[in-house]
Amino acid sequence: MIAASEKPVYQLLRFSTFLPNRVTGDFSGEIRTGYRMHPDGAVHPIRGGAVSGNVREAFQHAFFSKELVQREGYCGPAGIYLKNVKIGGREP
């Protein structure tokens, strides 16, 4: 999923809260932990900032990993590649 991109890919691992609005599908979450991976192979840890978007738009072109995980209340793909989301924060 990561190697196919010509732009940096963000691997976001932990969020503060990530609950979409039930009516509009809009969401936002504060990034706790993640990585910015560049096409040249450089990897930079990130902390802080936010990710936001709309669930319906983000999942129109989503890709799901074959690997499954089960954690607390979640059982599903280990990774999901989403387009049409905004990531904000300052560059390190």
**Helix, strand and coil in the chain, % to nearest 5:** 10, 50, 45
Task: Give the pLDDT band (50/70/90) at residue 92.
Answer: low
- Structural domain contains residue 1: no
Q: Could you tell me if 56 and 45 are in contact, meaning their C-beta atoms sit under 8 angstroms apart?
A: no
**Does pLDDT of 2 surpass 70?**
no
pLDDT in tens, 37-60: 888 889 999 988 899 999 999 999
**Does pLDDT of 67 surpass 90?**
yes
- Structural domain contains residue 92: no
Please report which helix (H) or strand (E) contains residue 10, including its range.
strand 9-15
Q: How many domains does the chain have?
A: 1
pLDDT in tens, 8-25: 888 898 888 778 999 999
Percent of the chain with pLDDT over 90: 49
User: Rounded to two decimals, what is the model's pTM?
Assistant: 0.76
- Domain range spanning residue 14? 9-85
